[in-house]
């Protein structure tokens, strides 16, 4: 058994998180508007958690407007240049964690290898069950395609065997569990949550959570306009 497969077959990372382990003043400074600290690492998904019996058979495909598309087995992928990314993790549903630590291939390495066309603006990350999330290329390069959390393999409910972790200035619905593909696009396209009224820009510290329903589709607009949304729902009887 290879060392990579042995790692993936190990005990998954724990969900444990205790805000009491952090300095209270520092933790208060690091908490974005509208957030609370979780008592453990929650897992949220719109579909069933899949079964992954053979992580060594998992592959990742990069395609679209690129010079060098690829499809690579996960075990081989783990030999590529890696990055350890330590960052705070913020979920749009209102919870945060501090100092989550991930290991994987950085987005900048994936861009380097695929050589996107100069006209590429957007990366659409694909996961199981037709899930996708959209990233501007500049943001994608600051994240990591990770197979390790807190120096252990991911648990299945947190995206085992591989997930993309978005950079910390973005809400983590820009993350993607059970990643299968990376698509490079010359025209911006919205992902699963973005077409369901989540903000395309997703800026954590601007409290940028939802799109304005009166705006043009796909325009990043920042924080939800509560009264506008209320009127919009009333007009449609929902």
Query: What kind and span of H or E run contains 180?
Result: strand 179-185
Query: What kind and span of H or E run contains 146?
Result: strand 144-149
Q: Is residue 101 part of a domain?
A: yes
Rounded to two decimals, the pTM is 0.87
Residue 160 near residue 11, CB atoms below 8 Å: no
Per-residue confidence (pLDDT) for residue 41, from 0 to 100: 96
Q: Is residue 107 part of a domain?
A: yes
For 24-52, write each residue's pLDDT tens digit. 999 999 999 999 999 999 988 877 888 89
What is 59-111 written as a DSSP string? EEEEEESBSS-EEEEHHHHTTS--EEEEEEEE-TTSEEEEEEEEEEEEHHHHH
Residue 62 near residue 114, CB atoms below 8 Å: yes
Q: Is residue 48 part of a domain?
A: no
Low-confidence ranges of the chain (pLDDT < 50): 213-229, 231-232, 236, 238
Q: Is residue 163 part of a domain?
A: yes
For 99-139, write each residue's pLDDT tens digit. 999 999 999 999 999 999 999 999 999 999 889 999 999 99
Longest dimension (CA), the chain: 61
The CATH number assigned to the domain holding 230 equals 3.90.420.10
Per-residue confidence (pLDDT) for residue 100, from 0 to 100: 98
Q: Is residue 49 part of a domain?
A: no
d(CA 120, CA 66) in angstroms, rounded, equals: 8
Per-residue confidence (pLDDT) for residue 212, from 0 to 100: 52
Structure tokens at 112: 């380097």
Q: Is residue 124 part of a domain?
A: yes
Query: What kind and span of H or E run contains 185?
Result: strand 179-185
Name the one residue in this structure whose structure tokens are 């509208």.
34
Domain count, the chain: 1
Q: Is residue 222 part of a domain?
A: yes
Per-residue confidence (pLDDT) for residue 44, from 0 to 100: 84
Instruction: Quote the domain boundaries for residue 129.
Output: 3-41+55-235
How many Å separate Cα 23 from the centre of its chain?
A: 27
Q: Is residue 47 part of a domain?
A: no
If one counts every other C-beta atom within 10 angstroms of the C-beta of residue 163, the result is 22
Per-residue confidence (pLDDT) for residue 15, from 0 to 100: 95
Per-residue confidence (pLDDT) for residue 237, from 0 to 100: 56
């Amino acid at each position: 058994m290879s060392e990579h497969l042995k790692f993936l077959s190990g005990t998954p990372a724990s969900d444990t998180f205790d805000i009491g382990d952090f300095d209270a003043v520092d933790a208060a400074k690091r908490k974005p508007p509208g957030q609370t600290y979780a008592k453990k690492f929650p897992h949220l998904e719109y579909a069933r958690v899949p079964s992954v019996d053979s992580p060594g058979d998992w592959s990742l495909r990069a395609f679209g407007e690129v010079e060098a598309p690829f499809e690579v087995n996960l075990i081989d992928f783990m030999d590529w240049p890696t990055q350890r990314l330590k960052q705070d993790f913020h979920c749009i549903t209102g919870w945060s964690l501090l100092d989550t630590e991930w290991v994987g291939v950085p987005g900048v390495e994936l861009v380097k290898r695929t050589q996107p066309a100069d006209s590429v603006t957007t990366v659409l990350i694909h996961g199981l069950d037709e899930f996708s999330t959209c990233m501007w290329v500049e943001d994608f390069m600051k994240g990591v395609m990770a197979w390790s959390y807190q120096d252990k393999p991911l648990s299945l409910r947190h995206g085992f065997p591989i997930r993309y972790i978005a950079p910390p200035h973005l809400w983590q619905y820009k993350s993607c569990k059970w990643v299968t593909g990376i698509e490079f696009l010359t025209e911006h396209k919205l992902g699963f949550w973005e077409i369901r009224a989540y903000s395309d820009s997703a800026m954590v510290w601007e409290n940028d959570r939802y799109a304005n329903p009166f705006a043009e589709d796909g325009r990043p607009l920042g924080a939800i306009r509560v009264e506008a949304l209320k009127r919009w729902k009333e007009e449609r009887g929902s």
